[in-house]
Amino acid sequence: MITETSFLPDEPTIRMDGVNHGYLQGDHVLGDINMALRPGSFHFLTGPSGSGKTTLLQLMYLAQTPRTGRVWLFGVDTSRAERKVLTNLRRRIGVVYQDFRLLDHLTAYENAALPLRVIGRNEREYRDDVMELLHWVGLGERINAKPTTLSGGEQQRVAIARALVNKPDLLIADEPTGNVDPEMGERLIRLILELNKRLSTTVFIATHDLTLVKRLGAPVLRLENGLLMKGSSTGSAYGGEDE
Ligand SMILES: Nc1ncnc2c1ncn2[C@@H]1O[C@H](COP(=O)(O)OP(=O)(O)OP(=O)(O)O)[C@@H](O)[C@H]1O
Q: For 96-128, how does the pLDDT look when each residue is reduced to its tens digit (9 = 90+)?
A: 999 999 999 999 999 999 999 999 999 999 999
Domain 12-92+171-243 has CATH 3.40.50.300: yes
Average pLDDT of the chain is 90
C-alpha–C-alpha distance, residues 13 and 19, integer Å:
16
| Residue with CA at minimum distance from ligand 1 atom 13 | 50
Q: What's the CA-to-centroid distance between 129 and ligand 1, angstroms?
A: 36
Amino acid making up residue 120: G
Pocket lined around ligand 1, Cβ cut-off 6 Å: 23, 29, 47, 49-55
Kindly report, residue by residue over 199-240, the tens digit of the pLDDT: 899 999 999 888 888 888 889 999 999 999 987 544 566 666
The residue ranges of every structural domain in the chain are 12-92+171-243, 100-167
Helix axis angle, 123-136 to 108-118, nearest 10°: 130
Instruction: Report ipTM for this prediction.
Output: 0.98
Mutational pocket test of ligand 1: of 20, 55, 57, 96, the residue with most ligand atoms within 8 Å of the beta carbon: 55
Q: How far is the CA of 90 from the centre of ligand 1 (A)?
A: 22
- CA distances from residue 188 to 24, 199, 221 in whole angstroms, order as listed: 36, 16, 20
Whose CA is closest to 119, among 95, 81, 142, 88? 88
Which whole number is the average pLDDT over 30-50? 94
Give the Å distance between the CA of 23 and the centre of ligand 1. Answer: 9
Residue ID of nearest Cα to ligand 1 atom 26: 49
> What's the rounded Cα separation, in Å, for the pair 170 and 40?
8
pTM of the complete model beyond 0.80: yes
Q: What share of the chain is helix, strand, coil (3-state, %, to 5)?
A: 35, 25, 40
